[in-house]
Amino acid sequence: MNNTDESNERSRATAVPPKCGFTLIELLVAIAVIAVLASMFLGSLSLAKSTAHSIVCRNNLRNLQAGWFMYAHDHNDKMPPNKLGSWNFDTVCVEGYYDAPGSWALGNARMDALLSSIRGGVLFPYSASLGVYHCPTDKSKVDLHPELARIRSYTLAYFMNGDKYLSDQSGNSEAFPLVKEKTGQLRNPSMLFVFLDESEQTIEGGSFFLHYQGDPAEHESGGGPHWMNVPSDRHSQGCNLSFADGHVARQAWRAPKKDDLNPTMLSDPAVAADLQDLRKLQSYMPALR
C-alpha cells in the first residue's frame, strides 16, 4: 500500500459522519401529527370523564330510590312526603320555594349552605351518605356564597306524595289530582319517574312540579304548555331519572335546557323540540284515572 492509499484510508476512518435532522417541513408535519393525537386523546379523556360522572349520578339516584323504597316499607307503604313550605306560582318570594319539616329533604337547594337541610329530611336515615344528594356534574354554587358548592342536585316528582291541596300567600287554593300517597296506588311503576337531576337554574325546594298534559293550568300565565321546573341537561344534553320500579335511566333531550328563573316562562313553547321533551317527561306521570 502506498502512502497515498494509506492517507485516504485514514481520512475515511476519521471522517465525521454527516449529521441527520428534521427539515422544517418534517418538523411541522410531526407537530401537526402530535396535535391531532393529543386532541383525539383529550377528546376521549373528556368523554370518559363525562361518562364516569353520569354513572356516578345514576348510582346516586339508585341509592335515593332504594332509600325511598325502604322508607315506604317502614311506613305502611306511604312514600316519603314531598311537602312545600311556601308556594306561589305567580310571584316567587325572595328565598324561593322550600320544603318544610317532614319532607324527604328540607330547605332550598339554591340557598342552603348547611348540611342540616339534607340530614333533617325523612329520607336521610335510609340514604345517609351526603354525597348521593349531589350530581358530580353539577358545578353550581350556593346563592350569595360563591365559595360553597351546592349540596343537593336532585328533586322528587311532586305527584309522589306531595300536598294534594295547597293555599298560596293570597289564600288561593289549588288541588293536584295526580298526587299519590302510597306505592300501591302507582300503576305501571316502570313508567313513573321519582327522582331526577334538576337544572341548577330552577332547583329550589325538593319538589319537581310538572303539569299533566291537558291540565287547564298548562295554558295559564305561559300562554300554552310550559315548564314549571326544568330537568337538567348536564349529561350530554340528557338527564338521569329514577323510576318507581327501581330502575334508573338517562333521558336524552331534543333541546337544551337553559332557562331563566321565572317559574312559568321557562322555555319557549313555540320550540317544537322543547315541547316534545316536555311531553316526554309528562308521559312518565300517573294517569288521571
pLDDT in tens, 58-92: 999 999 999 999 999 999 999 999 988 765 544 44
pLDDT surpassing 60 at residue 172: yes
- Residues 104-129 have a mean pLDDT of 94
Per-residue model confidence as pLDDT tens digits over 225-270: 888 889 999 999 999 999 999 999 999 999 888 754 443 444 555 5
* Number of structural domains in the chain: 1
Beta-sheet strands, E only, within 158-224: 165-167, 173-175, 193-197, 207-208
Mean of pLDDT over the chain: 82
170 in any annotated domain: yes
Domain that holds residue 197: 38-282
Q: Do residues 273 and 255 touch, judged by C-beta distance below 8 A?
A: yes
pTM over 0.95? The answer is no
Of 228, 255, 224, 253, the closest CA to residue 241 belongs to 253
Q: Do residues 205 and 156 touch, judged by C-beta distance below 8 A?
A: no
- Could you give the 3-state DSSP secondary structure of residue 236? coil
pLDDT surpassing 80 at residue 21: no
25 in any annotated domain: no
pLDDT of 17 reads 56
pLDDT of 43 reads 54
Q: Compute the distance between CA of residue 159 and CA of residue 177 in angstroms, rounded to an integer.
A: 9
149 in any annotated domain: yes
121 in any annotated domain: yes
Q: Please state the φ and ψ torsions of residue 119, each to the nearest 5 degrees.
A: -60, -30
Of 288, 178, 183, the closest CA to residue 246 belongs to 183
- Residues 154-177 have a mean pLDDT of 80
- Residues 173-199 have a mean pLDDT of 92
Of residues 100 and 158, which shows the higher confidence score? Answer: 158
Residues 6+ apart with CB under 8 A from 166: 84, 87, 173, 174, 176
116 in any annotated domain: yes
Please report, as a single letter, which amino acid is at residue 149: A
Of the chain, the end-to-end C-alpha distance in Å amounts to 114
pLDDT surpassing 90 at residue 169: no
Of 176, 233, 208, the closest CA to residue 109 belongs to 208
Q: Compute the distance between CA of residue 275 and CA of residue 109 in angstroms, rounded to an integer.
A: 26
pLDDT surpassing 70 at residue 98: yes
Dihedral angle of Cα 74, 76, 78, 80, to the nearest 10 degrees: -20
Q: Compute the distance between CA of residue 142 and CA of residue 104 in angstroms, rounded to an integer.
A: 20
14 in any annotated domain: no
Q: Counting runs of H as helices and runs of E as strands, what totals does the chain give?
A: 4, 9
Measured from the Cβ of residue 63, the count of other Cβ atoms closer than 10 Å reads 20
- Cα dihedral sign for 254, 259, 265, 270? negative
72 in any annotated domain: yes
**What ranges in 140-271 are assigned the alpha helix state H?**
none
Residues 6+ apart with CB under 8 A from 225: 211, 213, 218, 219, 269, 275, 278, 279
Lowest mean pLDDT among 72-76, 105-109, 146-150, 210-214: 210-214
Q: Compute the distance between CA of residue 30 and CA of residue 94 in angstroms, rounded to an integer.
A: 58
Q: Give, for 73, the enclosing helix (H) or strand (E).
A: helix 24-74
3 in any annotated domain: no
